[in-house]
Chains A and B, each alone.
Chain A
């Protein structure tokens, strides 16, 4: 037996070597803890700065800030209602268009695409997320908007004019191509990559035994998707959709280009409107005094709405990769 100690006098007392705790060790550990805590501080800071910055507007107008539709910089009267409605309606339209497309893409990628084709297609879908928001805005304004005005708005307005309800919602008074529906459409393509890639990851995680047993009793691919995969991934798919909703609510540049930036509320989704984000982006640099506070107060509302949506989304999707 080779002794650990080189003194041969009697049985050596066991030498317990403690891990050396140098100053670097302590510093490193605390630095990493501080960096991690900074993440919490950032979120709290955003929350606080929005509340404090928007406070003068909330104090001045009270609850009326949310319910009022007046946005008058001359008389210093500010109400958030048209922007809130615009934000919610563009996001809703984006979901109505984007969700079926995303689910179809996820099903295609996991169940239908030939193996060699999967990688290039997923990369292309993910690159759709890498395109900057401002580029979507330019594509929307210069390519999509003229086509939309000429081939959708004008013919559609001629058809629906005078029809109750439909004639109000779909009629465009000035068919410029800009408006709530256009913004919703562009947003749909911006949120597709997020919803599609999370749903794809979810579908891939479902044990293949389930799929195989369904095929084994003679189910078609559609029946496997409809009755096995979707119920299995259900809650997480709703989470993925809410994550997309969070994106759509706060998207700024693309919407600012195509929404029309009107301060009025219109019953028609073909008419120009504005969202919280587009209003802030548009007016911020010229804003002073109470208008500035009102804009930050808008940001505060946007923060709390997206915050709630994202919390629910993250609880439902817990830890799926998405960047």
Chain B
């Protein structure tokens, strides 16, 4: 560990002390003000965005927003009912795909693989997937599901969202399982329980709230994803078919299509949809953070 000597603190003739002290104090003050200013600028932008959503979105919210389906081009009124339900279905489909895979993979890393080469590689690749651009995952699902089956579908959308959610769940599951103290596992093993039973009945139970948090974070992550849905679930202005074949209406793509359209009711709905989706995601994130802090 090398501690570089602060260049400004070297010995100086006493006569210059006052001046040096002053310039150092000024540099210090300037840095403090700048750092605080930057922080408030970032917070200001957050509140600017939230304020804009509330101002423009509240006007578009009405009972019709939740009861009527999205209007076609040029038609009056309309709501977001089909898009809201479609988004919920796609998001939960994504979580349903990602949870078993993510939890099991996280369990492998924490309980079986530990520090083996394979586990380290998987951990590394998982971290890469965690920050991979979501548009690429959309393209991937397009190539493996939409093109071969000749059609956009809710299933493809759900799989795309699931692939985005998997690395988040793997990461949190592993982190949470690692926090479970070893003696707890040893106690289970001492009673004669096989590893699988120790993991499912003891370790998972002890890490439950943390693992749920991971799933909530993944939910928050995929709920607003737009790019992967453009290539997979697409969108439409009707109720989607219960088999989820064909385009499935969803909030993010609806917002994307309606926001810059020339129809006033479309723009209103885009703002209302943005308000709904952002507030749900922020609420989810805050709840997830609360759980993490509560369990520590």
- Chain A residues near B (Cβ < 8 Å): 17, 19-22, 24-25, 27-29, 31-40, 42-43, 45-46, 49-50, 52-53, 100-101, 104-105, 107-109, 111-113, 121, 123-128, 130-139, 141-143, 189, 192-193, 196, 210, 213-214, 217-223, 225-228, 231-232, 243, 246-247, 249-253, 257, 277, 280-281, 284-285, 296, 299, 302-303, 306-307, 310-311, 313-314, 319, 321-323
Nearest residue, chain A, Cβ from B45: A189
Check A252 against B135 for contact (C-beta < 8 Å): yes
Inter-chain contact A280/B134, CB cutoff 8 Å: no
Determine whether the beta carbon of A29 is less than 8 Å from that of B136. no
In the complex, A49→B138 CA distance in Å?
A: 11
With a cutoff of 8 Å between Cβ atoms, the chain A residues found around residue B137 in the complex are 46
Report chain A residues within 8 Å CB of B25: 220
Q: What are the residues of chain B within 8 A of A243 when measuring CB–CB?
A: 131
Interface residue? B243 (CB, 8 A): no
Q: Determine chain B's interface SS by DSSP, over half rule.
A: helix
Closest beta carbon of chain A to B37's beta carbon, Å? 7
27 A-B pairs whose Cβ atoms sit less than 8 Å apart in the complex: A25-B194, A28-B195, A32-B108, A35-B101, A38-B166, A42-B129, A45-B140, A45-B144, A105-B35, A108-B39, A121-B39, A127-B46, A128-B42, A128-B46, A134-B226, A135-B224, A220-B28, A222-B30, A223-B6, A228-B3, A228-B4, A281-B230, A303-B136, A307-B132, A313-B131, A314-B124, A314-B128
**Given A123-B286, A132-B224, A314-B124, A223-B133 contact (CB < 8 Å):** no
Determine the chain B residues whose CB is within 8 A of the CB of A319 once the complex forms. Answer: 123, 127
Q: Which single residue of chain B is at the shortest CB-CB distance from A224?
A: B6
How many residue-residue contacts, CB under 8 A, span A and B?
299
**Chain A residue contacts of B226, Cβ below 8 A:** 132-134, 252-253
User: Is B266 an interface residue when CB atoms closer than 8 A count as contact?
Assistant: no
Which residues from B are CB-within-8-Å of A214? 3, 6
Whether A252 contacts B196 by the Cβ 8 Å rule is no
Identify which of B64-72, B74-82, B88-96, B252-260 touches chain A.
B252-260
